[in-house]
Homo-oligomer: A and B are copies of this chain.
Amino acid sequence: MRAITQRSFGGPGVLELTEVERPRPLPSEVLVRVRAASVNPVDAGVRSGAFPLLGEPPFILGWDLSGVVEEVVPGVTRFQVGDEVFGMPFFPRAGNSYAEYVAVPSRQLARKPAALDHAHAAALPLAGLTAWQSLVDAADVRAGQLVLVHAGGGGVGHLAVQIAKARGARVIATAGADKHDFVRGLGADDVIDYRSADFTEAVNDADVVLDAVGGEYGPRSIRALRPGGLLVTIVDRANAELRAATVAAGRRFAGITVEPDHVGLEALAALADAGKLRPHVEHTLPLAEAAKAHHLVESGRTQGKIVLTV
């Protein structure tokens, strides 16, 4: 099968289209014919060697995928050949989705939402589960709560805004002025321009703050929370100082790393099919142009997901 591999750590140029053996699914797994794989910032870190989650090259990058079940190992009941599925199997261990075929444990997949094509479904798992596991599993956001989402126009943020709204929360987002229309279109009740306004003056009673920015946003976010409110960060997970300051101020702290989970995938798919959740895809490129996709992701100038079609 065709797959993107690399023989050394380095810039996007190390990514090569090669011919490799098709993976063989084990008991409890299915073989998925990948139709789309999305590129996440973590992929670039693994490629460059900054986050060597997969050890030394050679390896196949990528976790997010949407595709079609090609083969079902007897013993699997959740899917049949021909079913459309999506997921982020094995994260953060063996990557594999920049390829024509992937062998996947059946409970690390869910049915692709019918409302989304493969490119949009592939854009959802890693960023969408990050938002879901932050706002639902960790924060248990409920109707009537106030949720502040930093970088509401970003990869995780734009999904978090939609999920918080779907849970019945009031949502305020921070974003650059150029993204305000986009973020309001996602359902945000209010958008704060992070360049011209101080969000701590506008918000001091949030039940939950979701921080995907880091740096000064963490400590400042403490002041945006009501007593007992929860700061959820997907960047400063290991920041003991921030955790201590949050707790000392009478607020709660949770750092989140995303993890495969069919329960969350099924919830995301249901929201997508209800018309309440749609990832923003900015570019789709063929698999062979993975290096160009990485250049785009690393440029920091893209507004939505970059997806490889396979």
A195: Cβ under 8 A from any B Cβ: no
Contact of A259 among B106, B137, B237 (CB under 8 A): B106
| Given A28-B91, A105-B259, A263-B263, A138 and B237 contact (CB-CB distance below 8 Å) | no
Asked if B257 and A28 sit within 8 Å, CB to CB, the answer is yes
A213: Cβ under 8 A from any B Cβ: no
Q: Can you list, as one digit per residue, whether each of A26-70 has a CB less than 8 Å from chain B (1) or not (0)?
A: 111000000000000000000000000100000000000000000
Instruction: List 30 contacting pairs A-B, 8 Å CB cutoff, sorted by A.
Output: A26-B53, A27-B53, A27-B237, A27-B257, A28-B91, A28-B92, A28-B257, A28-B258, A28-B259, A73-B257, A74-B238, A74-B255, A74-B257, A75-B237, A75-B238, A75-B255, A75-B256, A75-B257, A76-B257, A77-B137, A77-B138, A77-B254, A77-B256, A105-B259, A105-B260, A106-B259, A107-B259, A107-B260, A261-B262, A263-B263
Q: Which of A28, A53, A76 has the most CB of B within 10 A?
A: A28
Residues of chain B contacted by A92 (CB below 8 angstroms): 26-28
Chain B nearest CB: distance from A26 CB in Å? 5
Chain B nearest CB: distance from A85 CB in Å? 15
Complex alpha-carbon distance, A74 and B105, angstroms: 25
Residues of chain B contacted by A263 (CB below 8 angstroms): 263
Residues of chain B contacted by A105 (CB below 8 angstroms): 259-260
Chain B nearest CB: distance from A78 CB in Å? 8
Q: Can you list, as one digit per residue, whether each of A148-168 has a CB less than 8 Å from chain B (1) or not (0)?
A: 000000000000000000000
Complex alpha-carbon distance, A237 and B260, angstroms: 26
Number of copies of this chain that the complex holds:
2
A301: Cβ under 8 A from any B Cβ: no
Chain A interface (Cβ within 8 Å of chain B)? 26-28, 53, 73-78, 91-93, 105-107, 133, 137-138, 237-238, 254-263
Residues of chain B contacted by A255 (CB below 8 angstroms): 74-75, 77
Residues of chain B contacted by A28 (CB below 8 angstroms): 91-92, 257-259
Complex alpha-carbon distance, A201 and B142, angstroms: 55
Residues of chain B contacted by A238 (CB below 8 angstroms): 74-75
For the complex of A and B, list the 10 residue pairs with the smallest distance between their C-beta atoms, beginning with the closest: A75-B257, A74-B238, A75-B237, A74-B237, A28-B259, A27-B257, A28-B257, A77-B138, A75-B255, A74-B255
Complex alpha-carbon distance, A34 and B257, angstroms: 24
Chain B nearest CB: distance from A267 CB in Å? 12
Q: Which of A27, A106, A256, A261 has the most CB of B within 10 A?
A: A27
Chain B nearest CB: distance from A71 CB in Å? 13
Residues of chain B contacted by A107 (CB below 8 angstroms): 259-261
Residues of chain B contacted by A91 (CB below 8 angstroms): 28
Residues of chain B contacted by A262 (CB below 8 angstroms): 261
Residues of chain B contacted by A74 (CB below 8 angstroms): 237-238, 255, 257
Residues of chain B contacted by A93 (CB below 8 angstroms): 26
| Inter-chain pairs besides A75-B237, A76-B257, A261-B262, 17 sampled, C-beta below 8 Å | A26-B53, A26-B93, A28-B91, A28-B92, A28-B257, A73-B257, A74-B238, A74-B257, A75-B257, A77-B133, A77-B137, A77-B138, A77-B254, A107-B259, A107-B260, A107-B261, A263-B263
